[in-house]
Each structure stands twice: as C-alpha cells, then as structure tokens.
Chain A
Amino acid sequence: MRKEVIYSLASPYRETMDVYGYRFGEGKKSACIVGAIRGNEVQQLYVCSQLIKKLKKLEAAGAIVSDNEIMVVPSVNHYSMNTGKRFWAVDNTDVNRMFPGYNLGETTQRIAAGLFDTVKEYDYGIQFASFYMPGDFIPHVRMMDTGIQSASLATLFGLPYVVVRKPKPIDTTTLNYNWQLWETNAFSVYTSETDLVDEDSARQAVSAVLRFLTRMGILRYHSHSGYIATVVGEEELTQVKTNAGGIYRRLKVPGEEVQMGDVLAEIIHPYEGEVISQILAPTEGIIFFAHKKPLVTENEIIYKIIRRLHE
C-alpha cells in the first residue's frame, strides 16, 4: 500500500487540505474507488476506510493479481466534513458538479480537476455516492445511460439491483458521467445511509467491490456470489408523491414487497395529530426508495417502487 497526496489546497487559516490516494498493487490502472466527495457522506468515508483496511491485508497476502493497480480515494472534501457542511464550505458549490474540473478555474473546479487527473484512465471507476433526495434505498449500483455504459458489468457487483438512468444536463458535470466520457466503466454504488454509519450495508458495499474486482481478474478473493442482480431503468420505477404537507409517518421500508392499495405512509396534521392523508401503493412491487425525513411537503416523491416485481 502506498499512501500519497494527490491534491493539496491551502487555506487562509486552516491546515492544508490534503486529498490522499491509497494505491494497492502495481501495473496497469485497473480500478479506482472514490468515497466522500460531499461533507455529509460519512457512510461513504466509512466504507472506503473498511475497504482500505481489507485491501491492505489482501495485498500483504499476495491477493492482488500482478500488473493491476487499485486506487482508493476515501475523502475529497473533509474541509466540509469537519465543518458540518454538505457542499464546499466557502461558497456552497458541489465538487461533484464540477467535473472534469479546470485547473485554472475556481477553487472547486481545481479540486475536481486535481482529483480527476489522478482517477481518470482507470479501466473501472467506482464511486460511493449519495442522492439529492433525502431517503434510503435498497443497496444498488447506479449507472448513467451514456450509450457506452455496460449494465451487465454492473451486475457483477452482486448487489440486488442495477439502475440505469438517462442523464440530465446537470449530470454532465458529475464524476460518474465524466469517467464514462474518458472511457472508464463507471459505477455509483449506493448503500442505505449517508449521514450515519450503517455497518450492515457498509459490509455489503465492501464485499460488493471485492467481488467485482475478483470477477474482473484484478483480485483473488473468495466471497459469497451475491445476488444475480435485477436491472431496472429509472423510468420504470413508479413514483409515489404526497398530496399534502405535514409530519410523515413511514410505514414501509426499502426492500419490502407491497400490494396495490397498501398504505405506504401517513401524513399527520402538524398541530392536531390527525391523519390528513394516507398514501396508497398505486401498484404492486418492491419498495426501492423511501423518503426518510420526518416532515414532507406537498408533491414530494416519498417512494419509488419497482412495479410488478416480487420477492
């Protein structure tokens, strides 16, 4: 294992922010794993830390196949993590909306450029990402439909689901999208938490990455085969929206099977405690995403259901 600074940023008064890369093995650039890019991605940081711990042992045991280099970047934005901010602590810009970056541009463009310069040109790029809507998912691999993505490769992580979605203009500046443009097979791995550490899904994420690296011939590691993943298009998910604002009572969790008409959630009057709305399942299927915060607005997406799928 070689730990090296891949990007440094000085601050007026804080200690210099060093972004570290951990390299395992030597040879061609096979796989790169990136963890927390946002300051609240604590689970993503934790997963990377566990992955580094595991890879360190595996490398010592000679388990990395020769002529393969694996790079892990556990944290890109700890300045924000240490100040309790999700985005860049100075101007609130999102480093994950700045790729491929610009080394003569604004600060977050430079951070993105500094990172991208190191993480591009790997065969496989894996990011532990977080979603812009507050809620939790069934652990899955997410890919953007850029025309060059390979959903069949994504199934090799052995997570239950692979979701493919069409990119919007705003997605064209994410790491995942730019990895793909630079001919890296890019995958975003979602576990069930962001702000909190969830041990079970962290273990699942580490296993999924090790399984994938093994199947791609980069690592020798014996693990459970995982799931034969179901591939779904984002547009195939049925979205369930609220029809009122109030206190949100979640009645179903990701992974649960529901029948059409089941009560998924209740919205409670914030002063009087009465149930003012019951949100019913518009279809049968498996809950893929569920809103988690205790309050909801009208018209919010609180569930996404993989329709007509059964356990």
Chain B
Amino acid sequence: MIFSNTSDVIKAEGVLKTAGYSIRVMSPPAQYRTGCDLAIDFPLVEQFGIVRCLKEEEIIPLDILPLSEERLEPLKICRVTDFGDYLMIKAANMKITVHKISRKIVNISGGGCPDVPYLASEMIGKRLSEAPSPRKLGYTLCAYSLNVAFDEAHRVMEEQSC
C-alpha cells in the first residue's frame, strides 16, 4: 500500500495495528521512491477490511499493488547510553535524551529531514508523558526513527521506575 507521504504511513500503521491487523512498514517499490518514504505490507486477503478501516480515519492510500521484490524494513533497534542523571536513546540516526528524575526531554540530536528541528522545538523541555509523539507530528523517515527512540524512552523509564 503506497501513500502520498510518510506521515500518512505512520498514521496508518498506528490505526491498523490498533485494529489488530498483521502489517509491516517497508520501503516502497523502486518506482515510488523519492529518498524518504515508506509503504505498508499487508496480506492481500485482508485488503477490503484494511482499506475500510483506513477510510474511517480518512487515510486514503495512493495505490495498492502486489509485490515480489525484496525490500527493506526500517530499523527498530535502539541503543541506550547512560550519562548518570540522563539517558540517551538512539534509533538509526536519531537520538533523544531524557532527564531521569523529571523525565523531561532535554535534547534531540541527529537526523537530516526537515521535521527533525521542528520536532525538537516541540518536544524539548516537555516530560515524556506530555510531549507530542513524533508519530503524530512528524512526516519523514527521521520522524519514524525518532518515534522508535521515543517509544523506547517510555519503556526504559517505566522499567526504571519498577
């Protein structure tokens, strides 16, 4: 399933996973690539349900096509660095740093797409629980990676408080 922008893919992924569909976010086929884009892989038999589910959320795919070529999956592995009072979580080319006690986001580093500095200005200074999710505000693959780091930061901080 191809979309007109990465933001729609990020939203569609959230909607479809919440609805219980087994989907994967992947790179689009070569003819659709611009250098910063995503597509969604899904079982063809579930097409009607999936499209209806997205329509209800006003997310309309640009195209749906069967594919056989090998494509890449976005990186979802994180690396954590402990700075004492702060934790830095890195996913792909994105880093988010959180103060351990206040849980405030103190820095966002890395990336190269235009929404990264925008997300930084919206998220820095806010607690993890209050900060807007890159999934909601972002448009690009860098935002996707930042979201992976953001989710991991939530998980690690929860683990630390247990």
To the question of whether A and B form a pair in one complex, the answer is: no
Binding site for B on A (CB under 8 A): none
